[in-house]
Amino acid sequence: MKTRIGILALVGLVLSSGLAFGQHVYDARIKEKEMISPAAPEAPRINGPRVYGARPERVFLYRIPCQGVRPMEFSVSGLPEGLTLDATQGIISGKTPAAKGDYELSITARNRMGADSCRFTLVIGDKLALTPPMGWNSWGGYMVDVSDKLVRHAADLMVQRGFADVGYQYIGIDDCWMRVSQQMYDDRPKATVDKHATYDYISTGTIGEPRDSEGRPVPNAKFPDMKAMNDYVHSYGLKTGIYSSPGPRTCQKWMASYGHERTDADQYAAWGFDLLKYDLCTGGAVLNRMKKRIPGFTVQDFWRPMTNYIMDQDRDILFNLCQYGLEEPWTWAPGMNIQTWRIGGDLNHNVDHYFDNALRIAVDLRDYNKPGQWNDPDFMYIHRIKVAARMGDPSEEIALTTNQRYQYVTLWSIICAPFFFSCDLMNIDDFTVSLLTNAEVIALNQDKLGHTAEVIRNTDAETVMVKHLADGSNAVAIFNRNSEADADIFVSWNELGGCCEMSVRDLWRGKDLGIHKDGIIVRLSPDGVALLKVRP
């Protein structure tokens, strides 16, 4: 009897592995620093979302993400009154219409190699970020060294290296753009002094009154003209983000917004910013005091002043709440016009948490992830970044293997995470550019259905996730969780709710794999990943 049971178990294992079907094993292994993404096409290919949200009668700016040889000529039919197109750069700007509704546009891009067209829905209403926002943030690569010069150079690189052509929009300034009063400087904790050991507060013009006579925030000398800087970034059709805290000081103990929320929101809009990262930092102590002193005071009451004042501006400003997942922001942030919220602590060099964060969004928090509201697992720290405990030192390579980097980007794409990366952009290598600019991988993140990938198999050895797409197809991500050995992993179409024959495409390689019956077996490197698109 034991022998018979053992044979039946072996037969079941063979069937589940797909070996009984006699299938060919698709080799999806990736070598060290191997760039598997195809080169950008020469003919136009319009990328980015097919749906975009904006509020009525607001300043509007949108760069059409499009790969292809320049010069290029753009045309848009159905553009509502108040918006105009720069046909050479492909930038739509102006003021959104007063009437709410869906405005159906047709976009075409042409160059000497050909043309591409797409349908695009501009949704004028109450929701922003109908697909996850995309961009770069200064923190990982520069920390205390952020500057006007850096932001302008970042805008240049976003265009020159092809990031803007696949949909990256935002260039975000993080902490340390402000001034520090002499009292703040004298009161710095020793830990902060040590972290900023090589930072010269004097020559950078950082020490000084942090607010002017009207109470408005004053940047340090590295930002001589915020509006001019933003105008420069906006000339590319790109957008900018700024940083503050609801406490009296930021996480680095510089000036923050407590008691000045209205003034600061007005100033951010006057400067032309398009996103606010609002970080808890010293606000935690303020929140706790208010809860003790004011009967019925809630966490929503604490964040509401800045969210309301941001909403009052004449331009759309995305709100990125950074409360590290405390007090379950996913349950209340969507009702406060907050588009993204952090679900946990900083990733930075804590690279062992990237998979856990993604699975948490896919499983526990998936019901809160949808168009206009996104769980934020933190930036993709994917290249050279600084160490927060030694932020005066040069950036260091992140401790991830090549295959883990492909896993990282794959996960952020399929769980609909805000697609922001943070690294030393000025020294970015070709491999990282290739990793972050794969248009077909990004298209999953920007798919208008906004479906967060579901986990259909998760063991110590392997994880399989499926993401439903607006065109009726599915994206399947297959992960080898073994860090030491290759693995052959079978996925049956039955697991995806389908059967029989499926057309398969390798999205990372931009390669059609033909028709596969019953399922597919992929061979993966240690910590490897395959990202496939399947359809009947």
DSSP string covering 378-433: --B--SEE--GGGTTSPPEE-S--HHHHHHHHHHHHHTT--EEE-S-GGG--HHHH
Residues 349 and 396 in one domain: yes
Cβ-count burial 270-300 (b if 16+ within 10 Å, e if not): ebbbbbbbbbbbbbbebbeeeeeeeeeeebe
Task: Give the pLDDT score at 392.
Answer: 85
Note whether 465 and 484 are same-domain residues. yes
State residue 438 phi and psi, 5-degree precision: -75, 110
The answer to whether residues 256 and 393 belong to one domain is yes
Does a structural domain hold residue 8? no
Same domain, 471 and 515: yes
- For the domain that residue 57 is a member of, what is the CATH number? 2.60.40.10
pLDDT confidence of residue 497: 86
Which parts of the chain register pLDDT below 70?
1-22
Q: Is residue 3 part of a domain?
A: no
- 91 alpha-carbon distance from chain centroid: 21
Q: For residues 33 and 50, state if they share a domain.
A: no
Burial code (b: 16+ CB inside 10 Å, e: under 16) for 96-118 equals bbeeeeebebebbbbbeeeebeb
- Please tell me whether residue 288 adopts helix, strand or coil conformation: helix
Same domain, 91 and 222: no
CB atoms under 10 Å from CB of 45, counted, come to: 18
φ, ψ for residue 263, nearest 5 deg: -60, -45
Q: Which of 74, 104, 124 is the last residue of a domain?
A: 124
Same domain, 346 and 475: no
Residue 367 annotated in active site: no
One domain, residues 459 and 315? no
- Judgement on whether residues 175 and 194 belong to the same structural domain of the protein: yes
Q: What is the pLDDT of residue 22?
A: 56
pLDDT digits (tens, 9 = 90+) for 322-378: 999 999 999 999 999 999 999 999 999 888 889 999 999 999 999 999 999 999 999
Q: Is residue 399 part of a domain?
A: yes
Active-site residue among 86, 346, 488, 518?
346
The CATH number of the domain holding residue 264 is 3.20.20.70
Whether residue 279 lies in the annotated active site: yes
Residue 489's domain comprises: 21-38+453-535
Of 388, 403, 437, the residue that ends a domain is 437
The residue from 175, 274, 279, 527 that is catalytic is 279
Residues 369 and 324 in one domain: yes
Instruction: Give the E-state strand segments of 208-365 in sequence order.
Output: 239-244, 275-279, 318-322, 340-342
Does any domain span residue 129?
A: no
Question: In this structure, is residue 304 part of a structural domain?
Answer: yes
Both 297 and 257 in one domain: the answer is yes
3-state secondary structure of 152: helix
Residue 464 lies in a domain: yes
Residue 12 lies in a domain: no
The enclosing domain of 494 has a CATH number of: 2.60.40.1180
Tell me the pTM: 0.94
pLDDT at 353: 87
∠ CA 320-321-327 to the nearest 5 degrees?
155
Could you tell me the sign of the dihedral formed by the alpha carbons of 154, 390, 353, 244, in that order?
Answer: negative
- Regarding whether 55 and 141 lie in a shared domain, the answer is no
> Is 529 contained in some domain?
yes
Q: Domain boundary residue among 386, 406, 437?
A: 437
d(CA 262, CA 304): 11
Q: Give the total number of structural domains in the chain.
A: 3
